[in-house]
Structure 1
Amino acid sequence: MAETIELTCIRCPIGCQLSAVLEDGTVVRVSGNTCSRGEAYARAEVADPRRTVTGTVAVRGGAWPVTSVKTVPDVPKDAVLDVARALSETVVDAPLAIGDVVVANVCGTGADVVVTKPVDVQTGTVPFCTSTCK
């Protein structure tokens, strides 16, 4: 007996409305996609949904108090909240470069958390405000 799952593709800004037809738990057909990424997304979403987690971590001794980070590769969808909690508890030391691993194998997912914005060591006052601030 075939089952149909409706999905919205998140692989590009178009957001195609996809229909994935399953037979015995396996995707046998995908429709509604305008590119091959939509079909690949539907097949992966049904079998093993994963997400990139982005956020910030605190920086000690940096020119900025936080830096942006992301998971590489994507983590299982059911681990997203645990990964976000781990990021909220993470503090790293400056300097940091893009691609530096700040948490290896986060929450046992096999993914690393890497820096996406460099942070130099603090050398004076932190420039939180432009000259227009009062």
Structure 2
Amino acid sequence: MIETKTLTCVACPKGCEVTVEYEGDEIIDIKGNACPQGQSYAEEEIVAPTRILPTTIRVKNGALALCPVKTTKQIPLEKMFKAMEIIGKKEVEAPIKMGDVLIEDILGTGANIVATRDMPEKL
């Protein structure tokens, strides 16, 4: 069955409304993109959507109880909840420096979980 989906492209600042006709993983037609990145974005969004995962991780003996973290690259959308489960069970020791790898290669995606700010020890 042929389906149609309209996406707001985030590949460039224009934010084009891109309409994709597809059947399963097969793209039939893409319309509305003003640049080539729009076509690539729409194809990926239908066939294998990915996202950067921003969240927080628990910190032991830190100035704050949580430290903001993110993946170093996009991971498959279907792995987000499992990744959140793993991160939610993890606690790291302060001090932490921005960019420190707190979890390596989460779920075999090749993405590391890194701190996005410094976290000093509790005074």
Give TM-score, length-normalised by structure 1.
0.75
Q: Structure 1 residue 12: deviation in Å? A: 5.2
Residue number in structure 2 paired with 1:92? 92
Q: Are residues 63 and 110 of structure 1, via their aligned partners in 2, closer, same or farther at CA, if it must alter by over 3 Å? A: same
Q: How many residues align?
A: 123
Residue number in structure 2 paired with 1:56? 56
Among all aligned residue pairs of Structure 1 and Structure 2, give the percentage whose two residues are the same amino acid. 33
Q: Which secondary structure state, in structure 1, belongs to the residue aligned with residue 27 of structure 2?
A: strand
Residue number in structure 2 paired with 1:114? 114
- Distance in 2, matches of 1:41 and 1:112, equals 23
Range 18-27 or range 45-54, more displaced: 18-27
- Distance in 1, matches of 2:12 and 2:115, equals 23
- Distance in 1, matches of 2:13 and 2:60, equals 36
- Distance in 2, matches of 1:87 and 1:13, equals 31
Which aligned pairs between 1:30-49 and structure 2 lie closer than 5 A? 30-49=30-49
Output one character per residue of 1:56-89: Cα deviation in whole Å (capped at 9) or x when no partner. Answer: 0011122222110011211111011111121211
Q: Are residues 9 and 104 of structure 1, via their aligned partners in 2, closer, same or farther at CA, if it must alter by over 3 Å? A: same
- Distance in 2, matches of 1:89 and 1:13, equals 36
Give TM-score, length-normalised by structure 2.
0.81
- Distance in 1, matches of 2:25 and 2:84, equals 30
1:83 aligns with 2:83: yes
Q: Are residues 65 and 13 of structure 1, via their aligned partners in 2, closer, same or farther at CA, if it must alter by over 3 Å? A: farther
Q: Which secondary structure state, in structure 2, belongs to the residue aligned with residue 121 of structure 1?
A: coil
**RMSD of the alignment, in Å?**
2.5
- Distance in 1, matches of 2:33 and 2:22, equals 16
- Distance in 1, matches of 2:118 and 2:21, equals 44
Q: In the alignment, residue 43 of structure 1 is paired with which amino acid?
A: E
1:68 aligns with 2:68: yes
Q: Structure 1 residue 120: deviation in Å? A: 1.4
